[in-house]
Amino acid sequence: MNEPVPVTWMENRRARNLEAQEVVKDLLPPGIARLARSFHRQIPGYNMSPLKGMPRLSAMLGVGGIWIKDESARLSLNSFKVLGGSFAIYQVIKDKLGIRDRELPFAELTSPGVKERLGRLVFAAATDGNHGRGVAWAATNLGFESVIYVHKHTSQPRIKSIEKNGGRVVVVDGTYDDAVRQASVDAEMNGWQVISDTSWEGYSDIPKWVMQGYASLFSEAQEQLSAQGLAKPTHVFVQAGVGALAAATIGFYYQLFGAERPRTVVVEPSKAACLYESALRGDGQPHHFDGELNTIMAGLACGDPSPLAWKLLWDCADFFAVCPDYVAAKGMRVYAVPLAGDPFIVSGESGAVTLGALLFTMQSEEGSALRERLQLGPDSQILLINTEGNTDPDDFRRVVWEGGDPVPAEFRTYKDPES
């Protein structure tokens, strides 16, 4: 049986031949990254997540540098998602209070007077785990309730983590996209406020605020790269589910550098490739991806793109790529067992797929065409985002300890001489 190739990709040639200033400005207006980071800095326990260089792996692959923005320890939540959820909740509260002409200090935000003015406020979200945990944590720490919707295949460790952070969990008999729809229906009926990272008709402000919250991550990364004497990465590989993080990534760098921005590769699971499918159709519209979305990359298992994110990606993303599960599994193992001198990184399935994609792009015959189109070489400084740590311990051990989802023999870098 023929196994799927490690990386299937397409180039979005319109991205470098199009002025996209308006769509970027709509999503990430000037100054928003500074405002988001100013808010996040006030959260008790906030620290910049580390930027980790991998010089030995860079030398092995023949590139100038590989830099990992490691979100596995973000506010002890194992994921970057809290940045978006917390900033969106903050903006919702400001909106409900009628405060649009000034920032709301964290001490005032959490004061009894604010809570009295707002009354009972319940936040709802649909999730594969990380977004819901972040929303639950933010709501709890601000003194509010949360109801988090998950699909039937969500693992028990992810559910328990949401509950541990104060969220009430509702399990939906369906996919992530079904959970999104059910959360919206129930919130409308109960008067709850939905905090979603995907948009739909009539619902775009909050997903936009979520994406703006992610800008803190890249503001930090730029500061950290500057300390290494680098003005910017030359390339960014970014993973995608509905596309919110990918759109925030590309929008941030477009806003800063315009035509000189890094080359970008948006990476999805081959079993949940809604953005790649939309790009392949080529009509500029977001399209549904059919299937059960049964990928180990639970945080990326989305069948419908966010229309808001898709609009920016269609205009600005340089490449769309899809990878089978074994690519993410290899990335997890390389992070966990690095070359001597490189840092050890704990990465979940969704966090590691971009490293896996980079490895196969640089080391496999099948990756040579993409490698050439990206102009990857000794001058390349590549930014990856480890979006999550060990969020599902059972599956983490299955992959890292027991070698689950192994690389098919025909795509292995080191082949058995007896085979």
The DSSP call for residue 139 is: H
367: left (phi > 0), else alpha (psi -120 to 50), else beta? alpha
Out of 52, 69, 70, 128, the active site residue is 128
Q: Catalytic residue at 52?
A: no
Q: Catalytic residue at 95?
A: no
Burial class of 136 by CB neighbour count within 10 A (0 to 12, 13 to 18, 19+): buried
- Cβ neighbours of residue 283 under 8 Å, at least 6 residues apart? none
Beta-ladder partners of 386: 70
- Report CA dihedral (161, 403, 350, 162) to the nearest 10 degrees: -10
- Report CA dihedral (353, 356, 362, 365) to the nearest 10 degrees: -110
Three-state DSSP class for residue 304: coil
Alpha carbons 398 and 120: distance in angstroms, whole number:
42
Give, in order, the Cα–Cα distances in Å from 130 to each of 150, 160, 322: 11, 12, 21
Out of 52, 81, 208, 311, the active site residue is 81
Q: What sign does the CA torsion over 16, 22, 24, 29 have?
A: positive
Asked if 278 contacts 285 with a C-beta cutoff of 8 angstroms, the reply is yes
* In the block, residue with structure tokens 């949940």: 272
Beta carbons within 10 angstroms of residue 191's beta carbon: 9
| Residue among 63, 69, 67, 66 at smallest CA distance from 363 | 63
Give, in order, the Cα–Cα distances in Å from 327 to each of 257, 331, 340, 343, 351: 31, 6, 22, 20, 11
Asked if 316 contacts 15 with a C-beta cutoff of 8 angstroms, the reply is yes
Q: Which residues are designated catalytic?
A: 81, 128
